[in-house]
Amino acid sequence: MANYPRDLTDWSGVRLAGERAYKMAGIGPDDVEIAELHDCFTISEMIEYEELGFCKKGESGAFVDAGLNDYGGKVVTQPRGGLIACGHPFGATSIAQAHEIYLQFKGEAARRQVTPIPKIGLSQTMSGVGSQTTIIIYGSEETIH
Protein backbone atom coordinates (compact mmCIF):
# COMPACT_ATOMS: atom_id res chain seq x y z
CA MET A 1 0.00 0.00 0.00
CA ALA A 2 1.50 3.36 -0.98
CA ASN A 3 0.37 6.77 0.17
CA TYR A 4 2.12 10.11 0.61
CA PRO A 5 0.70 12.10 3.56
CA ARG A 6 0.63 15.88 3.87
CA ASP A 7 0.75 15.63 7.68
CA LEU A 8 3.81 13.75 8.97
CA THR A 9 1.78 12.35 11.89
CA ASP A 10 -0.88 10.97 9.53
CA TRP A 11 0.43 7.68 8.21
CA SER A 12 -2.68 6.70 6.32
CA GLY A 13 -0.67 4.19 4.27
CA VAL A 14 -0.15 2.20 7.49
CA ARG A 15 -3.82 2.59 8.43
CA LEU A 16 -5.11 1.52 5.01
CA ALA A 17 -2.74 -1.45 4.81
CA GLY A 18 -3.81 -2.49 8.32
CA GLU A 19 -7.50 -2.23 7.47
CA ARG A 20 -7.00 -4.36 4.36
CA ALA A 21 -4.91 -6.95 6.20
CA TYR A 22 -7.47 -7.23 9.01
CA LYS A 23 -10.28 -7.64 6.48
CA MET A 24 -8.39 -10.31 4.52
CA ALA A 25 -7.68 -12.24 7.74
CA GLY A 26 -11.20 -11.81 9.10
CA ILE A 27 -9.95 -10.24 12.34
CA GLY A 28 -9.64 -6.82 13.95
CA PRO A 29 -6.90 -5.04 15.90
CA ASP A 30 -8.28 -6.35 19.22
CA ASP A 31 -7.56 -9.92 18.05
CA VAL A 32 -3.81 -9.34 17.62
CA GLU A 33 -1.83 -10.74 20.57
CA ILE A 34 1.71 -9.94 19.43
CA ALA A 35 3.03 -7.32 17.03
CA GLU A 36 6.40 -6.52 15.51
CA LEU A 37 6.26 -2.91 14.31
CA HIS A 38 8.62 -0.88 12.15
CA ASP A 39 10.05 1.40 14.82
CA CYS A 40 13.00 2.85 12.90
CA PHE A 41 12.38 6.11 14.77
CA THR A 42 11.02 6.50 18.29
CA ILE A 43 7.87 8.25 17.07
CA SER A 44 7.16 5.49 14.53
CA GLU A 45 5.92 2.97 17.06
CA MET A 46 3.64 5.55 18.70
CA ILE A 47 2.02 6.53 15.40
CA GLU A 48 1.70 2.88 14.34
CA TYR A 49 -0.24 1.98 17.51
CA GLU A 50 -2.82 4.54 16.44
CA GLU A 51 -2.85 3.81 12.71
CA LEU A 52 -3.17 0.04 13.28
CA GLY A 53 -6.10 0.53 15.63
CA PHE A 54 -4.45 -0.65 18.84
CA CYS A 55 -5.53 2.68 20.36
CA LYS A 56 -7.34 5.81 19.19
CA LYS A 57 -5.64 8.72 17.46
CA GLY A 58 -3.77 10.85 19.98
CA GLU A 59 -3.88 8.16 22.69
CA SER A 60 -0.65 6.23 22.06
CA GLY A 61 1.12 7.91 24.99
CA ALA A 62 -1.60 6.81 27.41
CA PHE A 63 -1.61 3.37 25.73
CA VAL A 64 2.10 2.93 26.52
CA ASP A 65 1.86 4.53 29.98
CA ALA A 66 -0.86 2.01 30.89
CA GLY A 67 1.38 -0.87 29.77
CA LEU A 68 -1.09 -1.97 27.10
CA ASN A 69 1.79 -2.63 24.68
CA ASP A 70 3.67 -4.84 27.14
CA TYR A 71 3.47 -8.34 28.59
CA GLY A 72 0.07 -8.74 30.22
CA GLY A 73 -1.32 -5.79 28.22
CA LYS A 74 -3.60 -5.57 25.20
CA VAL A 75 -0.98 -6.51 22.57
CA VAL A 76 2.65 -7.37 23.27
CA THR A 77 4.78 -5.33 20.89
CA GLN A 78 8.47 -5.58 20.08
CA PRO A 79 9.33 -8.52 22.38
CA ARG A 80 12.78 -8.71 20.77
CA GLY A 81 13.30 -4.97 21.23
CA GLY A 82 12.29 -3.70 17.79
CA LEU A 83 14.54 -2.11 15.20
CA ILE A 84 16.01 0.45 17.58
CA ALA A 85 17.31 -2.32 19.87
CA CYS A 86 18.18 -4.97 17.26
CA GLY A 87 19.31 -2.91 14.31
CA HIS A 88 17.61 -2.07 11.06
CA PRO A 89 19.08 -4.17 8.24
CA PHE A 90 16.53 -2.81 5.71
CA GLY A 91 15.65 -5.84 3.54
CA ALA A 92 16.11 -8.27 6.42
CA THR A 93 13.80 -6.39 8.79
CA SER A 94 10.67 -8.29 7.75
CA ILE A 95 12.47 -11.62 8.06
CA ALA A 96 13.58 -10.82 11.61
CA GLN A 97 10.04 -9.77 12.52
CA ALA A 98 8.54 -12.95 11.04
CA HIS A 99 11.14 -15.09 12.79
CA GLU A 100 10.26 -13.56 16.17
CA ILE A 101 6.57 -14.27 15.68
CA TYR A 102 7.41 -17.83 14.58
CA LEU A 103 9.44 -18.38 17.77
CA GLN A 104 6.60 -16.95 19.84
CA PHE A 105 4.02 -19.24 18.19
CA LYS A 106 6.29 -22.26 18.82
CA GLY A 107 6.87 -21.26 22.46
CA GLU A 108 10.61 -21.02 21.79
CA ALA A 109 11.30 -17.33 22.45
CA ALA A 110 13.06 -18.00 25.78
CA ARG A 111 13.00 -14.96 28.11
CA ARG A 112 10.94 -13.01 25.57
CA GLN A 113 8.15 -15.60 25.43
CA VAL A 114 4.63 -14.21 25.55
CA THR A 115 2.26 -16.27 27.70
CA PRO A 116 -0.08 -17.75 26.96
CA ILE A 117 1.48 -18.64 23.62
CA PRO A 118 -0.01 -16.20 21.10
CA LYS A 119 -2.21 -17.45 18.27
CA ILE A 120 -2.52 -14.26 16.19
CA GLY A 121 0.39 -11.99 15.30
CA LEU A 122 1.08 -9.02 13.07
CA SER A 123 4.22 -7.62 11.52
CA GLN A 124 4.42 -4.23 9.87
CA THR A 125 7.27 -2.79 7.87
CA MET A 126 7.47 0.36 5.82
CA SER A 127 9.56 2.89 4.00
CA GLY A 128 9.05 6.52 3.14
CA VAL A 129 7.61 7.46 6.56
CA GLY A 130 4.67 5.11 6.18
CA SER A 131 4.03 5.79 2.51
CA GLN A 132 4.89 2.20 1.52
CA THR A 133 3.69 -0.35 4.05
CA THR A 134 3.55 -4.13 4.25
CA ILE A 135 1.50 -5.87 6.91
CA ILE A 136 1.44 -9.61 7.51
CA ILE A 137 -1.12 -11.27 9.77
CA TYR A 138 0.01 -14.60 11.22
CA GLY A 139 -2.22 -17.34 12.55
CA SER A 140 -3.74 -20.71 11.74
CA GLU A 141 -6.86 -21.82 9.91
CA GLU A 142 -8.62 -21.76 13.27
CA THR A 143 -7.66 -18.16 14.10
CA ILE A 144 -7.75 -16.28 10.79
CA HIS A 145 -10.19 -16.70 7.94
> By the 8 A CB rule, do 13 and 131 touch?
yes
For residue 124, the model assigns a pLDDT of: 97
The residue ranges of every structural domain in the chain are 12-138
Topology of the domain comprising 12-138: Peroxisomal Thiolase; Chain A, domain 1 (3.40.47)
71-127: pLDDT as tens digits = 999 999 999 999 988 877 777 889 999 999 999 999 999 999 999 999 999 999 988
22-68: pLDDT as tens digits = 999 999 999 999 999 999 888 999 999 999 999 999 999 999 999 99
